[in-house]
């Protein structure tokens, strides 16, 4: 043993101290390793959710997927699918898997500052649980991608504004005209001057107004005369009233006439009853006449038959008496 040349002074309980240090070292390292394994999720039982995205930019293995701001899973693997999409395989511990339902929506968002975030949203927590290994399309919200479009829109807007406010822009000209109009509005001719533009027209308008006033005065006179006529008409109507509805008026006479007419009507009714009786008689006569007519028919047929027999007889005699006739045809 090289005791004498070792310059370290002797230490009491050396072996215990050394063993303590070694133990502490083993403890430290094993605690650190165990903690890191817990932190990396080595002891969690997980299920997988496959998120399909157009591109996996900003997504790194180990990043969290959050639900309501709480991390419930971490990206375990990123791979390229045969269709050219990025497949992000997220490991979700079983104890957190109940937040994910079949109706859950997954988004990948990248802000202006900071990293990309994967978030899960579940609207209906009573839907069936998301099965292990389920594939979901991920929606992408990219603030940075919006910027170029926004800048283009803003540039267009600024150009339009510039065109609007330039020296020879229509808006500027309109404003100048408006200012001119306001000045004339405040001038001696006022709004009429603004409406008509030149002084001659506005003067004519004043004249027209004066003449209109005179016309109105004459219309007033006319109206007064019309009033007189109306009063006279009133008198005429009163007189007509008296003539029509007065003591010996048309109405009382008409009433007497109507009484007489009633008497006439009852007389006429009696006459008509007599006419009815006559008609009944006439009907009976008609019936008799019809019967006579049918008898006449049969008589006629009998006469016709007798006549035909007579004709036949005459024809027979004519045949049997041929000499009495000259049957020769003499040609000229």
- 62 touches another protein (CB under 8 A): yes
One of 23, 32, 150, 264 touching another protein (CB under 8 A): 32
Provide, rounded to whole angstroms, the least separation between the CB of residue 60 and another protein: 9
Encoded tokens for 167: 């020296």
Number of chain positions touching another protein (CB under 8 A): 33
For position 8 contacting another protein by CB under 8 A, the verdict is yes
- Figure out which of the listed residues 23, 57, 61, 304 binds another protein, where binding follows CB under 8 A: 61
Contact by Cβ (8 Å): 193, 201: no
Q: Which two structure tokens, joined as six digits, stand for 81?
A: 């699918």
Residues 39, 94 contacting (CB under 8 angstroms): no
Query: Considering the rule CB under 8 A, would residue 163 count as an interface residue with another protein?
Result: no
H or E stretch covering 2: none
Nearest approach, Cβ of residue 77 and another protein (Å): 13
* Helices 143-165, 170-185: crossing angle, 10 deg rounding: 50
**HEC string for 65-105:** EEECCEEEEEEEEEEECCCCCEEEEEEEECCCHHHCECCCE
Does 143 participate in binding another protein (rule CB under 8 A)?
A: no
Residue 38 binds another protein, judged by CB under 8 A: yes
Residue 98 interacting with another protein (CB under 8 A):
no
d(CA 141, CA 112): 11
Report if residue 108 touches another protein, rule: CB under 8 A. Answer: no
**Residues near another protein, by CB under 8 A:** 1-2, 5-8, 11, 14-15, 17-18, 21-22, 24-25, 28-29, 31-32, 35-36, 38-41, 61-64, 71, 74, 113-114
């Amino acid at each position: 043993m090289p005791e004498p040349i070792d310059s370290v002074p002797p230490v009491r309980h050396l072996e215990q101290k050394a063993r303590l240090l070694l133990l502490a070292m083993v403890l430290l390292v094993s605690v650190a390793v165990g903690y890191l394994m817990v932190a990396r999720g080595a002891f969690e039982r997980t299920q997988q959710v496959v998120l399909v995205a157009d591109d996996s930019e900003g997504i790194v293995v180990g990043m969290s997927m959050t639900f309501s701001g709480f991390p419930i899973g971490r990206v375990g693997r990123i791979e390229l699918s045969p269709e050219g999409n990025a497949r992000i395989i997220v490991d979700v511990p079983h104890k957190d898997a109940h937040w994910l339902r079949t109706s859950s929506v997954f988004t990948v968002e990248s802000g202006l500052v900071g990293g990309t975030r994967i978030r899960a949203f579940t609207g209906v927590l009573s839907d069936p649980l998301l099965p292990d290994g389920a594939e979901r399309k991920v929606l992408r919200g990219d603030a940075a991608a919006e910027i170029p479009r926004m800048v283009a829109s803003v540039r267009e807007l600024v150009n339009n504004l510039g065109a609007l406010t330039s020296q020879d822009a229509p808006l500027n000209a309109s404003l100048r005209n408006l200012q001119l109009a306001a000045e004339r509005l405040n001038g001696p001719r006022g709004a009429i001057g603004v409406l008509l533009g030149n002084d001659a027209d506005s003067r004519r308008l004043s004249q027209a107004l004066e003449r209109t006033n005179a016309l109105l005065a004459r219309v007033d006179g006319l109206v007064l005369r019309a009033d007189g006529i109306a009063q006279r008409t009133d008198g005429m109507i009163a007189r007509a009233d008296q003539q029509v509805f007065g003591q010996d008026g048309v109405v009382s006479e008409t009433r007497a006439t109507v009484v007489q007419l009633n008497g006439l009507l009852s007389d006429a009714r009696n006459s008509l009853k007599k006419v009815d009786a006559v008609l009944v008689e006439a009907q009976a006569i008609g019936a008799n006449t019809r019967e006579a007519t049918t008898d006449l028919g049969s008589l006629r047929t009998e006469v016709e038959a007798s006549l035909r027999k007579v004709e036949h007889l005459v024809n027979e005699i004519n045949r049997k008496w041929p000499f009495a006739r000259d049957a020769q045809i003499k040609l000229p």
